[in-house]
Amino acid sequence: MTDRVPMTPEGHARLEVELKRLKSEERPKIVREIETARAHGDLSENAEYHAAKERQGHIEGRISLLEDKLARAQVIDGTGQGTDRVSFGATVVLSDADSGEEVSYRIVGEDEADVSLGMISVTSPIARALMGKELDASVQVRVPKGMRELEILEIRFDPPS
């Protein structure tokens, strides 16, 4: 797969830290656990050995996934971009036309998304509707609860935290 994976510099750094930890700490630890379990004798009935091998498979799978994402990463640094249009990395303050409620979302890569922190994936319905729109524009978005009309009140690029 050659699709690029958009992410912020912070998201890229978090994935690199996780990959380094898995390779330098978790992988050697699980190898030691397997060796210890193997020393207990008959592997056909050794639950400790089989559990360690299963954990090793999960760790190796996560390492492969992270290596793939980092290899395909398209790191997009939004700082310094204009605030006239919504783009990747922007924090967008919106007003819900029905409730009048103001919400703020930062548009980030899929691995960085956390709605509870106000970070939505670039592939989410709201982000897709906002991308490229100008300040004061209104957009209609279909969300699980139905249609929402949102007005763009502010577009900004916050410095990395």
Q: What is the pLDDT of residue 161?
A: 63
Query: Same fold for the domain at 5-75 and the one at 91-156?
Result: no
Q: What is the DSSP letter of 111?
A: T
> What integer pLDDT is reported at residue 2 of this predicted model?
64
Task: Give the model's pLDDT for residue 143.
Answer: 83
CATH 1.10.287.180 fits 5-75, yes or no: yes
Spatial neighbors of 79 by CB under 8 A, at least 6 apart, are: 89, 157, 159, 160
Number of other CB atoms surrounding residue 41 within 10 Å? 10
pLDDT at 11: 92
pLDDT of residue 22: 98
Contacts of 87 (CB under 8 A, 6+ apart): 78, 81, 107, 131, 132
Q: Each residue's pLDDT tens digit in the chain (161 positions)?
A: 468 889 999 999 999 999 999 999 999 999 999 998 888 777 777 888 889 999 999 999 999 999 999 999 999 887 767 778 999 999 999 999 888 899 999 999 998 999 999 999 999 999 999 999 999 999 999 988 889 999 999 999 877 66
Architecture label for domain 91-156: Roll (3.10)
The domain spans of the chain are: 5-75, 91-156
- pLDDT attached to residue 97: 86
**φ, ψ for residue 30 (rounded to 5)?**
-70, -35
Supply the pLDDT for residue 45.
Answer: 77
Instruction: Tell whether pTM > 0.85.
Output: no
Please give the torsion angle defined by the CA atoms of residues 52, 56, 58 and 62, in that order, rounded to the nearest 10 degrees. Answer: 150
Q: Cα(63)–Cα(42) distance, rounded to whole angstroms?
A: 29
